[in-house]
């Protein structure tokens, strides 16, 4: 059993894109929605939107695509499509799930929580798919905190830190997008970026550590590198 580092006292994990590979499903849902309105959405157009909230994305995408219609209704339709796509199965990001479990083994007394832009239903299903139901002490899911803004705003991380009662600088976040890293960094947390295939080209300069897909990700090594910064 390893004693927790004096500089890392809690872990805060993003879920979508870190523990489960749902970003491709989100992209496909947006493509299908736009196709219903005679528009297209290329991957390179969508990449800057990964990690943001659907409400903000809807406003920006409708403007760029000159697509009219009630944004709330369009978002309901997009979510309907997304739920249909999810029904075929949710892919797990095994190397990051293993990282979370390895942290729990190496530092069993270190609090583990999650902070996500997703709603509670998706969050519960995502954690179940990853085999992590009950793994986190609590989850800060956007839907359950009216008044808070989604990432890249720091609100969800600030709420996580408030509930933890641990200084933000002693909390370590794990994110897969530039927007997520921005949110955690703005809240004062240390941040490990875990880029996915979709986000590997994003700007992670605000992260304290970047671990590319396929690279070693051993808890004590990560804590040591964070402590050395």
Instruction: Quick: pLDDT tens for 146-159.
Output: 899 999 999 999 99
**CA-to-CA distance for 149 and 190, rounded, in angstroms?**
20
State the pTM of this model: 0.93
DSSP letter, residue 145? S
Q: How far apart are CA 119 and CA 150, in angstroms?
A: 11
Per-residue confidence (pLDDT) for residue 2, from 0 to 100: 40
DSSP-derived letter for residue 108 is T
pLDDT digits (tens, 9 = 90+) for 77-89: 999 999 999 999 9
Dist. CA 39–CA 111, nearest whole Å: 45
Going by pLDDT thresholds of 50, 70 and 90, the confidence category of residue 6 is low
| pLDDT of 53 strictly over 90 | no
Residue 212 to residue 179: CA distance in whole angstroms: 17
Handedness of CA 73, 77, 83, 86 (dihedral sign): negative
CATH assignment of 10-21+90-228, among 2.30.130.40, 3.20.20.140, 1.10.10.200, 3.40.50.1000: 3.40.50.1000
Residue 229 has pLDDT above 90, yes or no: no
CATH topology of domain 23-86: DNA polymerase; domain 1 (1.10.150)
């Amino acid at each position: 059993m390893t004693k927790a580092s004096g500089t890392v006292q809690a872990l805060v994990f993003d879920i979508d894109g870190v523990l489960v590979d749902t970003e491709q499903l989100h992209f496909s849902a947006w493509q299908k929605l736009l196709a219903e309105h005679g528009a297209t959405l290329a991957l390179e157009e969508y990449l800057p939107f990964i990690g943001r909230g659907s409400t903000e994305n809807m406003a920006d995408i409708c403007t760029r695509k000159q697509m009219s219609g009630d944004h709330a209704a369009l978002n309901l339709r997009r979510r309907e499509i997304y739920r249909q796509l999810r029904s075929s199965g949710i892919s797990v990001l095994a190397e990051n799930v293993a990282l979370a479990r390895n942290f729990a083994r190496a530092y069993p007394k270190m609090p583990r929580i999650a902070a996500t832009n997703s709603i509670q239903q998706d969050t519960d299903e995502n954690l179940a798919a990853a085999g992590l139901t009950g793994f986190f002490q609590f989850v800060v899911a956007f839907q359950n905190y009216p008044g808070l803004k989604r990432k890249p705003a720091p609100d969800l991380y600030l709420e996580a830190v408030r509930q933890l009662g641990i200084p933000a600088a002693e909390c370590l976040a794990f994110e897969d997008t530039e927007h997520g890293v921005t949110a955690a960094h703005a809240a004062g947390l240390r941040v490990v970026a875990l880029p996915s295939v979709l986000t590997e080209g994003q700007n992670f300069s605000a992260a304290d550590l970047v671990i590319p897909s396929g690279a070693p990700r051993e808890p004590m090594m990560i804590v040591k590198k964070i402590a050395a910064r």
